[in-house]
A = this chain, B = another copy of it.
Amino acid sequence: MLKIRRIKELSREERDRILRRSRVDIESVLSDVRAIVAQVRERKDNALLQMLKQTNPKAGAEDIRVQEEEFREAEGLVSKELKEALREAAQNIETFHRAQLEKPFWSVEIREGILLGRVTRPIEKVGCYIPGGRAPYPSTVLMTVIPAKVAGVREIYITTPCGEDMKVNPAILYAARMAGATSVFKIGGPWGIAAFAFGTETIPKVDKIVGPGNKYVTAAKLLVFGEVDIDSPAGPSEGLILADSSANPQYLAWDLISQMEHDPEAAGILITTDETLAKEVQGLLMGLLPEIPKRDIILGAMGSYSLILIAEDIEEALDFVNGYAPEHLEIHSPNPFELLLRIQNAGSVFLGEYAPIPVGDYASGTNHVLPTGGAARAFSGLSVDSFLKRITFQYLSRGGLRSIAHGVSEMSKAEGLLCHSEAVMVRLKDEG
């Protein structure tokens, strides 16, 4: 049974536990992961091979990279329907991410003779981690590779775990080829992350690593951060549903279930001002449960961080939402846009009764690589910006330099960097 609680009756401890949810417990795996990262850094391909041989003793160096014939084979193994679905999704993702592109060059003369500006450049080499534990995730291939491609990244590599037979799921290979990935490697876990961070004989060193993964992958990303850039650390999925009495309880029940089927640690939370609706959803959910294939996972999620919360009014509900900073947020209300304007912290927001979270997971075009565990307070989801750098520049005329020379001189004296002042003054010397 999915518990129903009033927000105002939550104890401090309960509230903290819900807000904290299943943060990735990195500490417990850190020393194991550090050893793996060091191994890969030092022994490169040999370390990767040693790992591959544990599941398949016949693995050789040629098994690290997916070969051309494997892509061809995959092409034949993916159904026509799935290909069509992936193509449509890719088109929508590309359209939305193209809309994110900013002016690649702008400048402004902030005072006479001082021109400041910014040029935007794609990162050159990117590594995308595609998880393969619970299931294959071809959708994550599209969500990581397409924005990089739109940004103009020239080398986009994928790494993903392979099976005991040294094969990568065909839908992943099909999606990788379609989205324009440069190469695909069969190295999962911290090994894959370390290979991207330091490079091996077969796997190139990249400038940034993106994509979700389990706690071992996340720990490895944190350990190599600084050596390369990474996206935000990822934890179990979360969906928060904000609904008033206009909502359809049947839809809410399915949305909670579809959120909870991700993972026994996933959080599906309904917040509503309508107690009758809350009970109705609770009842419907229990009624649906017997027909659900992933019942055990859902029961797990119900027992951990999922629940139904009753808010006194919309203010209390919004406060909770912004404090929670959910990865996904659904808003069911006659005018959901009005409430959107009051959301401060969230990864992606789904407005109205016809926008269930799964449309964003797969096909509408928004990105599904989103900040979890409250990271939405400071982090954004993956976007074209994730693959761009911004370089500032300036051009000064002699008059422009003259106009700020005195200021530079005063400040450099205050900071004890006298030659900074000289470098300016030497250029104006003959002006006395």
Residues of A within 8 A of B (CB): 24, 26, 79, 81-82, 84-86, 88-89, 92, 95-96, 99-100, 102, 106, 108, 110-111, 114, 116, 118-119, 121, 123-124, 134-139, 171, 207-208, 222, 225-226, 228-229, 232-233, 250-251, 254-255, 257-258, 261-262, 292-294, 336-337, 340-341, 343-367, 375-381, 383, 385, 389-398, 400-401, 404, 406-412, 414-424, 426-427
Contact = CB atoms under 8 A, between A and B. Distances in A.
A229 B379 contact: yes
Most buried by B among A85, A292, A349: A85
B378 A427 contact: no
B114 A364 contact: yes
A229 B378 contact: yes
Contacts of A385: 385, 390
17 contacts: A89-B411, A92-B111, A135-B417, A138-B415, A171-B414, A229-B375, A229-B378, A251-B423, A257-B423, A294-B418, A345-B389, A354-B400, A358-B420, A359-B396, A363-B407, A364-B404, A380-B391
B96 A363 contact: no
B358 A393 contact: no
A423 B379 CA distance: 28
B363 A419 contact: no
A360 B407 CA distance: 12
Given A96-B116, A359-B408, A380-B389, 16 more contacts: A85-B411, A92-B110, A119-B340, A124-B345, A136-B414, A222-B226, A226-B233, A258-B419, A348-B391, A348-B392, A348-B393, A350-B394, A351-B393, A351-B395, A380-B390, A383-B390
Nearest to A253: B426
Nearest to A227: B23
Contacts of A416: 134-135
A99 to B, nearest CB: 5
Contacts of A100: 118
A128 to B, nearest CB: 14
Nearest to A209: B378
Given A336-B395, A352-B396, A427-B356, A258 B420 contact: yes
A24 B226 CA distance: 10
Contacts of A111: 92
B262 A364 contact: no
A358 B26 CA distance: 42
Nearest to A404: B363
